């Protein structure tokens, strides 16, 4: 298992949302590229970026910030947020992004998502964000009738790079991830599963690793607020 530190961007700044609420923001760094450099110095190999402005508007917004981070060339980067057409996918891949995360458009237009996974095989990750097991889209502002496991089972038949699962009620709360659902998802599909949301301590990392089948874990607020050392998390995950 490996650790992926997270940078969520609004207005070019590194922030975190509490439970996906755009009105509950914590600003951690005005320089996301500088923050990425700190993560690399601590031993990170991957970086998780969410363009929260893009997620809400339905198109990438903070592309220039993403480009500045990518140009440093120190980290493999996965990017999500508002990516809902082929041009946006290609634009990010042209910047050197390792994989593009698609959530809303995958759920609302599965046929299109299937075509994109075929065209960009191994470069597309599926982002599944959920409240109480039900999928949420459009920057977590709309709930869908589908369940995580139902949708994941179909998506796993496609050549996707990974499924990144976030429990929105846990995200930014530093109260531990949804171990039960994360484990159920990992058991249900054969593609790599990335856990996200609520990871707070080394014990959370160790417990995720013990579950088995979890490929990676995304960690955000706990690193920024010092309840979890990125270097220690990376060591524990190995």
Report the catalytic residues. Answer: 8, 129
Q: In 44-173, where does DSSP find H-type helix?
A: 52-57, 63-71, 86-94, 104-108, 110-119, 148-155
Beta strands in the chain, from DSSP E residues, in sequence order? 2-10, 13-18, 21-29, 46-51, 76-80, 99-102, 124-131, 134-137, 142-147, 162-167, 193-196, 214-219
Any residues with CB less than 8 A from the CB of 1 and at least 6 apart, and which? 205, 208, 209, 214, 215, 216, 217, 237, 238
φ, ψ (nearest 5 deg) of residue 72: -65, -25
Determine contact, residues 155/102, Cβ cutoff 8 Å.
no
Q: Which residues pair with 78 in a beta bridge?
A: 48, 99
């Amino acid at each position: 298992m490996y650790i992926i530190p997270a940078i969520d961007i609004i207005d070019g700044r590194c922030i975190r949302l509490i439970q996906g609420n755009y009105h509950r923001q914590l600003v951690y760094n005005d320089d996301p590229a500088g923050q990425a450099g700190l993560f690399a110095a601590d031993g990170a190999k991957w970086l998780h970026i969410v363009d929260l402005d893009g997620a809400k508007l339905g198109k990438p917004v903070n592309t220039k910030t993403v480009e500045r981070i990518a140009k440093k060339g120190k980290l493999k980067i996965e990017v999500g947020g508002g990516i809902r057409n082929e041009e946006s996918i290609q634009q990010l891949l042209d910047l050197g992004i390792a994989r593009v995360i698609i959530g809303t458009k995958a759920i609302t237009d599965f046929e299109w998502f299937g075509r994109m996974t075929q065209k960009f095989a191994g470069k597309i990750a599926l982002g599944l964000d959920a409240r109480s097991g039900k999928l949420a889209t459009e920057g977590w502002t709309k709930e869908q009738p589908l369940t995580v496991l139902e949708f994941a089972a179909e998506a796993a038949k496609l050549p996707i790079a990974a499924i990144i699962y976030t429990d929105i009620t846990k995200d930014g709360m530093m109260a531990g991830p949804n171990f039960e659902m994360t484990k159920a998802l990992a058991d249900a599909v054969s593609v790599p599963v990335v856990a996200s949301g609520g990871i707070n301590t080394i014990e959370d990392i160790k417990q995720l690793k013990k579950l088995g089948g979890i490929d990676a874990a995304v960690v955000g607020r706990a690193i920024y607020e010092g309840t979890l050392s990125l270097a220690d998390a990376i060591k524990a995950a190995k």
